[in-house]
Amino acid sequence: MSELIIKNIQKFYGDHKVIDKLDLQINSGEFVTLLGPSGCGKTTLLRMIAGLETIDGGELYIGGRKANNIPAQKRRIAMVFQSYALFPHMSVKNNIVFGLRIKGMELHDMFTRLDWVLPLLGLEGLENRLPREISGGQRQRVALARALVLDPDVLLLDEPLSNLDTALREMAMEELKRVHRQVGKTIIYVTHNQAEAMTMSERIAVMNAGHLEQYDTPGALYRHPRTMFSAEFIGSPSANFIPGTIEIKNGELVLNSEIGLLEIDETRKDYLRNFSGRSVVAGIRPQDIILSSTRTHRRASDSHVTLGVELIENHGDRSFVLGRFENGLPVRFMAANDSDYRTDARVEVLIDGRCIHLFDPETRQNILEK
Amino acid sequence: MKSGQEQFPSAARLKSILPLWPLLPAAFYLITFLFVVLSYLLYLSFSTASGAFPTLATAGNVFAMNEFRQAFVSTLLFVIVGTPLELVAGLALAMLIYKPFFLRSIVRTLFIIPLAVPGLVTATLLFIIFDSNGGFMNHILMGKYWFFPHVIRHAVDWRGAQWSALSVAMIGKIWRDVPISMLILLGGINAIDPELFDAAKTMGAGLRQRFRYVILPLIIPAISSVLLLRSIEMWKEFIFPYILAGRYHLLGTLIEFLYMEWGGKYEHEAAFVALVLVGCIVVSVAVFMFLVDIVRRMVSDVR
C-alpha cells in the first residue's frame, strides 16, 4: 500500500510561512501533480514528503506510517530531481544501481532489476556511458530508471522535464504515462507547466502562496474552477475576468457586467436568485468566446457583445485574438483561421452563459461550485 | 612567387597574437630568472671550490655525509607523514563547516586564523610550549591543571630527541598551514551540486556513504591540489625544524647549515643539496599524481 496522506502540514522559513496548513490525500498508484507558479511551495512540499525538508507542523503518512520524523533514506521513496542529480563520476549503470548497492542488495538481484529497467526506459547500450556523454532526454530517463529500480512506495518527480526541448518533452510525457501504467507506482509530480499537469495527471493539486487552491481531476479543474486563481492558472490562454452584478431585469435574472448584460444559463437561475444584487466577477475562458459569424444557430444562453480586434497571433490551426470591449476592458479569445476578422476590425462575439464562471470578488471563490 | 598576403602574417593572425604581447616581459623575466638560477645551481653542484667542472666530487662529498643521509630520511618522513596528516586535518575541518549553520562564518574565520600568524611566531610559541623545563605541554601532562589528568611523572625533553623534535616541528607546520588545505577542499566540496547529496539521501545513503561515494570522488581534483602544493611545501620546510629541531636537519635546514655554519666552506655541497631537493620535489610530484590517479580509480566507478 502506498497511499500518502498530508494533514495540516506547515513549513516556515524563519517567520515566513511557506506551506500553510495544507491537506492532501493521494491514493495508492495515483499520478498526482502539484501545480502552481514559481514560489508557491510545491517543491518545498515535495521535499518535505521526501524527507529533505523538516515538517514544522501537521502530519505526513506514507503507506499508513507516520513519516514526519523518518529520515529521507528510510522513507521508501525515490525522487527525480530537476537537474536529474546524476553522479557525474559514475556510469549510467552504476548511477542506476547506486541505491541498490547502498542497500546492500545481492549482485544477482541488482542485475535482474537493471535488466528490467534498461529496456523499460530504452537505455540499452548506454550502460557504460558517463552522464556527460548522453543527451538531456537520456539523462532524464536514467534519473527515472534510478528511482524506479528502488521499487519505492512513492515516486517523487520535481520538474523533471523542464530542461528538455518541446519535442523531447512531449516524448518524455508519453513515456512517463506509459511507465506509470506499467509499474503502477504512486507518483507525485511537480511542475509549473499546466500542459504537463493536464496531460499526465489523474488529479492535480493547484497550489498558490503555500496553500491548496483546488484538488481535482484535470477535466474538473478546467470546467469547474473553484477559485479565480484556478480559472486563471488552468487553461491557456488564461480566463478573462469581467466584473459585474447579478440583477433581475424585466423579471429575468441577468449578469449586468461592465461589458453589458450577459445571459445566465436557465439551469443556474434558481440557485443564483439568492445572489441577486451581489457583485461578482465573471470568468470566461477564451475558448468560450465565439465569433458570431461562425455560429449559425443561437442559444437562449448566448449574449452578443461587440469588441475591437487589436492583435492576432496565428497558432496554425487557429488564432489567439487580443481585443478590447467597447468600455475598454481587454479580452482574449480563440478564433478559427478561416473566420472573417482582421486587426482593427470590429467584430461581434457570442458568450455562452453556460460557460460563465462566477466568483465572489472578496473570497475569490466560485459561487456556483458549492 | 608568393603574394604579399602570404609573406606577412594576416591581420586576423596579428589580432589573435596581440593580446599576448603584454605578457612577454613577464615571460622573459621568469624564463631568464629560472634559467640563471638553475644553471648556476647546476654549475655549483657539479664543480668544486678548486674550480674543477664538471665533476661529481661534490655529489660524492654530499652522499658521504652522515648529516645528508639523516636529513634526507627525515625530510622524506616529514613529507610522507605530514602531507597526508595535513590533508586529513584540512578535510575534517572542511567537512565541519561546508554546511550552513549558525555562526559558521565566525567558525570559519577561527579556522583561518593560524594562517595569519607568521611561521616564526608560531614556531617560537611552540618552542616555549614544548620547553623541557616549565613548558606548558609538560605541565599539562604532569597534571598541573584541573582539566587534564596526570599522564607523565617527569618532564619530557621534547626538542632533545630527533623524532619528538621533528614531530613538534610537524605539528607546528600542520597547525599553521592547515587552513590552506581546508580552503582548497572546502572549495571542492562547495562546488558539488547539493542535489547530489539529496539524491544520495533519498536512495538510502547515510553520512558515511555520502562521503565515500559522492564527496570523496568528486573532490579528487581538490585533494590532488592539496597533495601537490602541500607536499612541495613539506619538502621545502625550513622555519619550524630550524627553530624547533635545530640539531636534527631536514634538507631545507641542511642547505642553510652547510652554507652558513661551516664558514662558507661547503657552498658547492649546499648547492648540490638544493639540487637534490628540487629533484625530490619533481619526483614526489610525479609519485603523488600517480597515487592520486590510483585513488581516483579506486573511489570512482570503473565503467
pLDDT in tens, A341-356: 788 889 999 998 899 9
CB atoms A150 and B195 under 8 Å: no
Element housing A214 (H / E): strand A211-216
- Using pLDDT thresholds of 50, 70 and 90, give the confidence band for residue B302: very low
- Using pLDDT thresholds of 50, 70 and 90, give the confidence band for residue B303: very low
A89 CB neighbours in chain B (<8 A) are 217-218, 300-301
Q: Are residues B157 and B34 in the same domain?
A: no
Q: Are residues B108 and B138 in the same domain?
A: yes
d(CA A116, CA A72): 25
- For residue A1, the model assigns a pLDDT of 60
Q: Are residues B155 and B30 in the same domain?
A: no
Sign of the torsion angle spanned by Cα atoms B287, B293, B295, B297? negative
CB atoms A50 and B205 under 8 Å: no
- Average pLDDT (B45-62) is 92
- For residue A2, the model assigns a pLDDT of 83
Least confident of A15-29, A102-116, B185-199, B263-277: B263-277
Is the backbone of residue A260 left (phi > 0), alpha (psi -120 to 50) or beta?
Answer: left
Task: Report if residue B8 sits inside a domain.
Answer: no
- Average pLDDT (A353-363) is 93
B202 CB neighbours in chain A (<8 A) are 50-52, 72-73, 75, 77-79, 156
Nearest to B201 among A52, A82, A103 (CB): A52
d(CA A280, CA A262): 13
For cell 507547466, name the residue: A193
CB atoms B201 and A51 under 8 Å: yes
Residue B132 — φ and ψ, nearest 5°? -75, -20
The identity of residue B32, as a single letter, is T
Nearest to A89 among B195, B205, B300 (CB): B300
d(CA B123, CA B142): 23
Q: Are residues B243 and B284 in the same domain?
A: yes
Q: Are residues B206 and B85 in the same domain?
A: yes
Nearest to A91 among B198, B218, B301 (CB): B301
- Using pLDDT thresholds of 50, 70 and 90, give the confidence band for residue B132: confident
d(CA A349, CA A341): 11
Task: Report if residue B9 sits inside a domain.
Answer: no
- For residue B8, the model assigns a pLDDT of 63
Task: Report if residue B14 sits inside a domain.
Answer: no
Q: Are residues B220 and B184 in the same domain?
A: yes
Q: Are residues B40 and B89 in the same domain?
A: no
Task: Report if residue B49 sits inside a domain.
Answer: yes
B76: exposed, middle or buried (C-beta count within 10 Å: 0-12, 13-18, 19+)? middle
CA distance B197 to chain A (A): 9
Q: Which domain holds residue B50?
A: 23-55
CA dist A267 to A261, A285, A352, B158, Å?
A: 18, 20, 13, 99
Most A CBs within 10 A among B202, B208, B215, B216, hence the mutation to make, goes to B202
Three-state SS at A259:
coil
Any residues with CB less than 8 A from the CB of B46 and at least 6 apart, and which? Answer: B53, B54, B55, B56, B58, B59
CA distance A62 to chain B (A): 14
- Average pLDDT (B114-118) is 92
Q: Are residues B33 and B129 in the same domain?
A: no
Chain A residue set in contact with B, beta carbons under 8 Å: 47, 50-52, 71-75, 77-79, 81-83, 85, 87-91, 94, 98-99, 102-103, 128, 130, 146, 150, 156
- For residue B2, the model assigns a pLDDT of 46
Task: Report if residue B2 sits inside a domain.
Answer: no
Q: Can you read off the three cell numbers belonging to residue B249?
A: 636537519
pLDDT at B43 over 90: yes
Smallest CA–CA distance from B301 into chain A, residue? A90
Q: Can you read off the three cell numbers belonging to residue B266?
A: 661547503
- For residue A50, the model assigns a pLDDT of 96
CB atoms B193 and A83 under 8 Å: yes
- For residue B1, the model assigns a pLDDT of 43
- Average pLDDT (A316-340) is 87
Q: Where is the domain boundary, B6, B33, B55?
A: B55
- Average pLDDT (A49-69) is 95
Nearest to A102 among B203, B217, B303 (CB): B203
Sign of the torsion angle spanned by Cα atoms B200, B205, B211, B217? negative
For B152-203, the pLDDT digits (tens) are 888 899 988 999 999 999 999 999 999 999 999 999 999 999 999 999 999 9
Nearest to A103 among B202, B204, B300 (CB): B204
- Average pLDDT (A285-289) is 92
Q: Can you read off the three cell numbers belonging to residue A98?
A: 547506486
- What is the tally of structural domains in chain B? 2
d(CA A274, CA A187): 42
For each of the domains in chain A, give its residue range(s) and CATH number, in order of start: 4-233 (3.40.50.300), 244-359 (2.40.50.140)
- Using pLDDT thresholds of 50, 70 and 90, give the confidence band for residue A370: low
CB atoms B213 and A91 under 8 Å: no
A44: exposed, middle or buried (C-beta count within 10 Å: 0-12, 13-18, 19+)? buried
Of the candidates A182, A191, A167, the residue with the CA atom closest to the CA atom of residue A80: A191
Task: Report if residue B181 sits inside a domain.
Answer: yes
- For residue A250, the model assigns a pLDDT of 85
Q: Where is the domain boundary, B5, B33, B55?
A: B55
- The number of angstroms, rounded, from the C-alpha of B76 to the middle of its chain's C-alpha atoms is 12
Chain B residue set in contact with A, beta carbons under 8 Å: 193, 195-196, 198-206, 209, 213-214, 217-218, 300-301, 303
Q: Are residues B39 and B179 in the same domain?
A: no
Q: Are residues B142 and B43 in the same domain?
A: no
Most B CBs within 10 A among A79, A132, A133, hence the mutation to make, goes to A79
Q: Are A334 and A288 in contact, with CB atoms under 8 Å apart?
A: no
Helices (H) and strands (E) in chain A, counts: 9, 20
A92 CB neighbours in chain B (<8 A) are none
Smallest CA–CA distance from A103 into chain B, residue? B204
CA distance A292 to chain B (A): 54
- For residue A4, the model assigns a pLDDT of 95
CA distance B302 to chain A (A): 8
Q: What is the pLDDT of chain A when averaged over all its residues? A: 92
- Average pLDDT (B101-118) is 91
Q: Are residues B37 and B165 in the same domain?
A: no
CB atoms B201 and A83 under 8 Å: no
For A150-198, the pLDDT digits (tens) are 999 899 999 998 888 888 888 889 988 998 998 889 999 999 999 999 9
pLDDT at B4 over 70: no
Task: Report if residue B16 sits inside a domain.
Answer: no
Residue B151 — φ and ψ, nearest 5°? -110, -40
- Average pLDDT (A64-78) is 92
d(CA B178, CA B88): 9
Most B CBs within 10 A among A62, A83, A89, hence the mutation to make, goes to A89
CA distance A114 to chain B (A): 15
Percent of chain B topping pLDDT 90 = 64
Nearest to B202 among A77, A94, A130 (CB): A77
Nearest to A85 among B193, B209, B218 (CB): B193
Reading across the β-sheet that carries A260-263, which strands appear in turn?
Answer: A260-263, A252-257, A240-249, A279-284, A357-359
- For residue A106, the model assigns a pLDDT of 94
pLDDT at B5 over 60: no
**What percent of the residues of chain A are helix, what percent strand, and what percent coil, each to the nearest 5?**
30, 35, 35
Task: Report if residue B61 sits inside a domain.
Answer: no
Nearest to A150 among B201, B203, B301 (CB): B203
Least confident of A329-338, B149-158, B290-299: B290-299
B218 CB neighbours in chain A (<8 A) are 88-89
CA distance B14 to chain A (A): 36
CB atoms B203 and A52 under 8 Å: no
For cell 607536499, name the residue: B231
Smallest CA–CA distance from B217 into chain A, residue? A89
Any residues with CB less than 8 A from the CB of B57 and at least 6 apart, and which? Answer: B48
Q: Are residues B41 and B95 in the same domain?
A: no
pLDDT at A317 over 50: yes
d(CA B234, CA B76): 9
- Say which CATH number the domain at B228 has: 1.10.3720.10
pLDDT at B118 over 60: yes
What are B25's strand-pairing partners? none
For cell 632533545, name the residue: B160
- For residue B7, the model assigns a pLDDT of 57
B193 CB neighbours in chain A (<8 A) are 83, 85
Q: Does ipTM surpass 0.90 in this model?
A: no
